[in-house]
Amino acid sequence: MYKLAVYGKGGIGKSSISSNLSYILSERGMKVLHVGCDPKHDSTRLLTGGVPQRTFMDSFSGRGEGDVIESGTNGIYCVECGGAEPGIGCAGKGMAAMLDYVERNTPDDTDVRVCDVLGDVVCGGFSVPMRRDNVDGIILVVSEEFMSIYAANNILRGIRNLNGGRCVLGMVLNSRDPEGRSRVEAFSEAAGVRILGEISRSAVFSKAEGAGKTVSELFPDSPAYKQLAHIADMVCDAVSGRLEPLSASPLSDKAMMQIAAGQPVTDRDPPAVRTDCSFDSFDSERAITYKGDYVMPACTSHGAAEALLAIEDAAVVMHGADNCAFLDEYAWTRESYWQGFSGGRRRTCNLYSSGLDGRKAFAGEREALKAAITEAVEDGFRYVFVVPTCTSEIIGADIDGCIADLGDVGAKVVGVPEDDRFLASKFG
């Protein structure tokens, strides 16, 4: 199976181009799996008669993983990722989970997989389709506007950092301002990325959108179809090995500014990639810098749990993965054993976990946290401390907001905030 990914700036026309490519490839006898990797879940709509399909996010909502892969026009297999509610959950984690599901459940007769990927972001889950084992060829969709070229350059950076192989097929110019074509040509030459083809502005795209079909299906005699078919030819050449993929060679910020200004590109140095590994760290508590590769592991949530578990009539809810709570419980219990052997007394471990995993992080972690707090209260605790196992930037938790939503549960629930001073320390 050949794995193709289509990247580009948001709103640049990726979904329209990728769905048309899937249709044309299916016309040529290939069995295609079309994967929509955008939370807007609008990539497969033109392949399913204009009707939005059930998303992978829907399966996370409790309706099961059946029917995630549906059959569309010309027998094209269709999958849509979908996304969490705005402001809740992590779409990137959902993307990673969906790609894992697709890898395990791709129909055996699939010849080509086409991933239509949100291209403004190349971090986390949105970078999964460009990683070495997940892609054979990548197409970048651009227009003449500088920001679309800038986004393409950032995507090239992501490809170089995460893939490292030769996988760039080239660019598709979805033309909006023909007078600005020189800007695309300058970027193409400087970055060494060929232009696979050009799509001219045409009213047939809007007509096809309104009918819930691709241009290739509805207007096979149009000039737009011929342009799309040419790009499909290039993809077929890549599948057969006749078109050699390229390495990603992103330009520096200075070079990009020269392109924006219409100046010759003189800065040929690629942006730097950090290849060294250093664990030097400044301990802000002791004002000491530790050098070398010796790491002293620290976890601020462990320190918080250690202090709070000493309050015997309070419960501690660790908001995060079960393994974080397990390690804290193990450390507390082991210490209790040692105290018992030395004449002390065994201590209880009033520890709970929200059990955050990829699914809960995708859909939103509030219900998992509320359930853990409720369990502690139902067990009789009237004081409950909530400790995040990672910073809010990592798991996206709004602990104070979740506690406020609980209302009066018959107990005092206290969120424990992060402390930047300890987060920066090996002795956190």
Give the active site residue among 42, 58, 120, 267.
120
The one-letter code for the residue type at 402 is: C
Do residues 409 and 400 touch, judged by C-beta distance below 8 A? no
Verify whether residue 9 is a known catalytic residue: yes
Verify whether residue 420 is a known catalytic residue: no
Per-residue exposure over 304-338, b if at least 16 CB sit within 10 Å of its own CB, e if not? bbeebbeeeebbbbbbbbeebbebbbeebeeebee
Considering only CA atoms, which of 207, 171, 172, 176 is closest in space to residue 191?
Answer: 171
| Cα–Cα–Cα angle for 241, 244, 245, rounded to 5 degrees | 115
Give the active site residue among 3, 9, 213, 360.
9
Give the active site residue among 31, 40, 207, 370.
40
Instruction: Give the C-alpha separation, 55 to 77, whole Å.
Output: 13
Say how many Å lie between the first and final Cα of the chain, rounded.
48
Verify whether residue 3 is a known catalytic residue: no
Instruction: Give the C-alpha separation, 191 to 337, whole Å.
Output: 62
Verify whether residue 360 is a known catalytic residue: no
Give the active site residue among 3, 14, 213, 360.
14
Instruction: Give the C-alpha separation, 199 to 420, whole Å.
Output: 50
Which residue shows structure tokens 């969490």? 84
Instruction: Enter the tokens of residue 100.
Output: 């894992």
Which residue shows structure tokens 């799309």? 228
CA distances from 246 to 191, 294, 333 (A): 10, 39, 55
Instruction: Give the C-alpha separation, 371 to 384, whole Å.
Output: 13
Do residues 71 and 65 touch, judged by C-beta distance below 8 A? no
Do residues 318 and 325 touch, judged by C-beta distance below 8 A? yes
Enumerate the active-site residues.
Answer: 9, 14, 40, 120
